[in-house]
Structure 1
Amino acid sequence: MTTFDDRERAFENMFAHDQEMQFRIQARRNRLLGEWAAAKMGLTPEETDSYAKAVVQADFEEAGDEDVIRKLVGDMTSAGIEIDEPGVRAALEEQAVIARRMFIEAQ
């Protein structure tokens, strides 16, 4: 019975670790996405930092990426940048690859 319990604990720990890594990668992706959008909008370095943090926070509004995409499309459109949802989704995917790479290299 102890072997089974040990194995169960090991799988639970592995699952928790994987979830934490996924959360960190997603947060980094959102920050990179915020920095990308800020550059497009011509924000200052201080504004860029603040905006990137706001994008990370926006992801906590609801499950999935829709809240982040809505925020970026709205903000960029308000700033006079011509962008649509597929354009933001493409940038989101690009930033996800970069975030994953950064995280793996840091290990």
Structure 2
Amino acid sequence: MSTFDEREKGFEKKFALDAEQEFKAAARRNRMLGEWAAGLMGLEAVEEYVRAVVKSDFEQPGDEDVLRKVFGDLKDAGVSVTEGEVRMKMDELLAQAREAIKTEG
């Protein structure tokens, strides 16, 4: 196997690992976001709501479906929060999730 082939395989492995870590970070972020939103809404069935938030991420690629769900639920519950605040919380929690995954691995 040539050096080029070895480097190519190395890059492929790194890409796969990065993609897996990003998937895990997004899933963890969605769990934390669900817990945060459930707390703001005063829900007793927190785990059920968290599962619904995580599930909403599988409807379409990207974060917009999660944002729509959580923001809509907060708005329907009468919580005074803007879409921008929810988006900022998503970014904050994603950074926390990425850091937690780095320290675990």
TM exceeding 0.5 = yes
Which sections of structure 1, spanning at least 5 residues, go unmatched?
A: none
In the alignment, structure 1 residue 71 sits paired with structure 2 residue 59: no
Could you say what secondary structure the match of 1:12 adopts? helix
Partner in structure 2 of residue 29 of structure 1: 29
Q: CA deviation at 1:6?
A: 2.2
Instruction: Give structure 1 regions of 4+ aligned residues with deviation exceeding 3 angstroms.
Output: none
Counterpart contact for 2:31–2:54, Cα < 8 Å: yes
TM-score, scaled relative to structure 2: 0.90
RMSD of equivalent CA atoms: 1.4
Partner in structure 2 of residue 59 of structure 1: 57
Equivalences, count: 105
Which sections of structure 2, spanning at least 5 residues, go unmatched?
A: none
Q: CA deviation at 1:72?
A: 0.7
Partner in structure 1 of residue 84 of structure 2: 86
TM-score, scaled relative to structure 1: 0.89
What percent identity do the matched residue pairs reach?
49
2:100 and 2:35 map into 1 onto residues whose CA distance is: 15
